[in-house]
Amino acid sequence: MFSENDLQELVGFHSEESPLLSLYLNVDPTKHTTDEYKLVLRGLLREVAGQALRKDIAAVERYFDHEYDWQGRGVVMFSCLEQDFWRAYPLAVPVENHVYVGQRPYIKPLTDILDAYGRYGVVLVDQEGARLFLFQLGELQETSGTLGEEVKRMKHGRASAAGRRGGVTARTGRRQEEIAQRNLKEAAELTAKFCAGGRCGRIILGGTEQTVAQFQEMLPKDLREQVVGSFPAVMTASETEVLDRSLKIIAEVEREREKELVESAITAAAKGGAGVIGLADTLGAVYEGRVHILLVAEGYRAAGYRCQQCGYIAAQAKKKCPFCGSRVEQIDDAVDLIVRGVIDQGGQVEVVRDSPALEKAGHIGALLRY
């Protein structure tokens, strides 16, 4: 499974002598067939036939023909066989199709995937117990559960008129409600232990609307704040159903979160606050180490100019570096180097989809630390 350590390895790899092929292929079986995805793959590889080495293209084709089991939803690959570098990451979450050839791995989409689909918990709950799931990048990591005392439900027509007016039926109803509340409390305590230590970056709840509302109120305040959505579900729901429903909720949450971040950056930049928009200002903030959250429109690439000595990157052509006076060279994609710089500085990277506001603002921006 792809991890933060894998990302750091990719950030650190650099090939001066040989080109490196980066490939992202969506293979979601609910969308298209294997043969259709192989056609897409061939089309992507044709795009870089004159840039990537033949041996790297052949290695990618060989992987999909003989090694990949076509069980996931996305595949990310990096090949630079001349430097003995080959990495293939089958993922349980979908990715956007992309191919890129350069001196470094193309990692922008991966940072988005890690941010969106990192560790999160799903809790299915009813009046008698709970099932807990811990997912990372769409893969099930751990499960737990609790089953409390059975809650008996009175059938209509079984009690006498006197009982229904407040006798046995009323006492039985109160007793069953007490049992249900105790079961929900035990489920909340188990959830707190299951998600202790920040193991669940986000929490999604499943069950009836009433039960989910009662259960959420019983969670500790910090866990309540981590709940990002819920969906109707029964306790016997399959792991596949739980995963599918939770991924849809996360996708919706991410779209809303991205929208809010973009609005915050644009507003802050307009007021001269802790925000910048546009390539030039963003480059300056990265160089100064001030970027907290980088916002990049999906697919955005832009040429830039990099100092060969100190690494300073500019959006406009310069004869010499303004900081060290060394020679400046043109680079094909300054955006990828911006992403790397932010990751190295401990910042966050958000690859934003379908945001007219960010595109209008220059396709890139950032919220700053100060």
Sheet with strand 304-307: strands edge to edge: 313-314, 304-307, 328-331
The 10s digit of each residue's pLDDT in 49-66 is 989 999 999 999 999 999
C-alpha 118/C-alpha 3 separation (Å) is 9
C-alpha 295/C-alpha 282 separation (Å) is 10
C-alpha 329/C-alpha 313 separation (Å) is 9
C-alpha 245/C-alpha 364 separation (Å) is 31
* Cβ-based neighbour number of residue 210 at 10 Å: 9
C-alpha 161/C-alpha 179 separation (Å) is 25
Residue 167 is predicted with a pLDDT of: 56
Residue 148 is predicted with a pLDDT of: 76
Q: What is the helix, strand, coil percentage profile of the chain, to 5? A: 40, 25, 35
Backbone angles phi, psi at 126, to 5 degrees: -140, -170
Q: Say if residues 45 and 55 touch (Cβ distance below 8 Å).
A: no
Return the H-helix or E-strand segment holding 263.
helix 239-270
C-alpha 190/C-alpha 70 separation (Å) is 36
Residue 299 is predicted with a pLDDT of: 80
Backbone angles phi, psi at 62, to 5 degrees: -65, -40
Query: Concatenated DSSP letters for 235-257?
Result: TT--HHHHHHHHHHHHHHHHHHH
Distances (CA, A) of 15 to 3, 10, 47, 202, 332: 22, 11, 21, 37, 15
Query: Which residues of the chain have a pLDDT value below 70?
Result: 152-170
Pairing of strands 202-206, 227-231: parallel
Structural domains of the chain ordered from first start? 4-106 (3.30.960.10), 117-237 (3.30.420.60), 256-368 (3.30.1330.30)
What is the CA angle 47-343-251, rounded to 5? 70
Q: What is the DSSP letter of 207?
A: S
